[in-house]
Structure 1
Amino acid sequence: MTAVLVAHSGRHGGTRQIAEVIAEELRETGLTVDLRDAADVATVDGYAAVVVGSALYYHRWRPDAVRLLEHHARDLAERPVWLFHSGPCGPGAALHQVSLPANVALLAARIDAERTATFGGRLDPATVRGLIPRLMASGHRAGDFRDWDRIKAWARDVGRRVRIGVPH
């Protein structure tokens, strides 16, 4: 069986939940999947493909996800890599494509990652800190804007491409 690593980084569990759904969909396609927090990834050896996801905060990826890409860039360049981020909230969030932060875009180019998927995020007013997040959470941006059908379809496409051996 082909092994895939799905690594995630976030603060409040929303990105982890997306990664869990992605991992489950990949398993449904017949792949062996390890789901890990990005901070806990010591190596990508043994994986035929890697998926890395991060929550977006102020248009920045979480430091653990960036470190994973930095520390393993040479090894990641030798296998197919898919990136996703979550975070846009509010009406239309599920359809809003957000470009990678500059530092992550450079890493993505260096490892020849596939085009990044943007998934809507979840904003719970009870978990936010700081004035600006509280203001955002008090308005129309609060809620769960993750499109589970879209996430599952993306994961199934990744699984299909891993199974057919996307050249790298």
Structure 2
Amino acid sequence: MTANVLVAYGTTNGSTAEIAEAVAAVLRKEGCTAEALPAASVARVTDYDAVVVGGGLYAGRWHKDARRFLRRHRTALADRPLWLFSSGPLDPSASERDIPPVPGLRRAMTRLDARAHVTFGGCLQEGAKGRIAKMIIRNGKGGDFRDFGRIEEWAAGVAHELDRG
């Protein structure tokens, strides 16, 4: 049986959405049916066999749409395999070491019995929305720190876990 996987995401400037799209593309390549959708637009998760949820990190918190998604769908999420990812460090640290989930997300992982969490590097570039984002870019701290090879490897691992049951 082919797993039908939802990759839901919370993003402000689109970087996390691009990661979610890459995850969904790998899942499809590995034989799953997968779609990436903004977390705020998902009405229900019961149509899916498994769920991946990603959220951008902002000031030590997961994106509000991703947090709300976990709360809104907690009952259905507890009944299916769940993986989580964060995106955000604006430096190479996420490719150099494992960065644990922020405290609120760690609690949600326990409540929902999530299979795994990973933190990927973030991306903040010219034209980003938000006062703080603009200040970060003005101070020369922006850039693209996403490692798509690592993202694809992680997504393939999710697909292989689903294949094993």
Taking structure 2 as the reference length, the TM-score comes to 0.91
Partner of 2:24: 23
The Cα shift of 1:125 comes to 3.6
The Cα shift of 1:73 comes to 1.2
Partner of 2:146: 146
C-alpha separation in 2, matches of 1:152 and 1:29: 11
For 1:159, the aligned partner's letter is A
1:53-92 maps to which residues of 2 (within 5 A)? 53-92=54-93
Partner of 1:157: 157
1:97-112 maps to which residues of 2 (within 5 A)? 97-112=98-113
Question: Residues 71-107 of structure 1, C-alpha deviation per residue, up to 9 Å, x if partnerless?
Answer: 1112111111000010001243433533323222211
**What secondary structure sits across from 2:116 in the alignment?**
coil
In 1, are the aligned partners of 2:51 and 2:77 still within 8 Å (CA)?
A: yes
In 1, are the aligned partners of 2:86 and 2:118 still within 8 Å (CA)?
A: yes
The Cα shift of 1:140 comes to 5.4
Q: What is the percentage of aligned positions where both structures have the same residue?
A: 40
Partner of 2:44: 43
The Cα shift of 1:51 comes to 0.1
Structure 1 gaps of 5+ residues are none
In 2, are the aligned partners of 1:91 and 1:141 still within 8 Å (CA)?
A: no
- Cα RMSD after superposing both structures: 1.7
The Cα shift of 1:38 comes to 0.1
**What secondary structure sits across from 1:126 in the alignment?**
coil
For 1:145, the aligned partner's letter is F
In 1, are the aligned partners of 2:98 and 2:118 still within 8 Å (CA)?
A: yes
Structure 1 residues 30 and 91: alpha-carbon distance in aligned structure 2, compared to 1, 3 A threshold: closer
Question: Residues 87-136 of structure 1, C-alpha deviation per residue, up to 9 Å, x if partnerless?
Answer: 00124343353332322221111110023110000011432533x54453
Moved more, 113-122 or 99-108: 99-108
C-alpha separation in 1, matches of 2:160 and 2:94: 26
**What secondary structure sits across from 1:108 in the alignment?**
helix
Aligned residues: 164
The Cα shift of 1:46 comes to 2.2
For 2:116, the aligned partner's letter is R
C-alpha separation in 2, matches of 1:104 and 1:93: 17
Taking structure 1 as the reference length, the TM-score comes to 0.89
Structure 2 gaps of 5+ residues are none
In 1, are the aligned partners of 2:101 and 2:119 still within 8 Å (CA)?
A: no
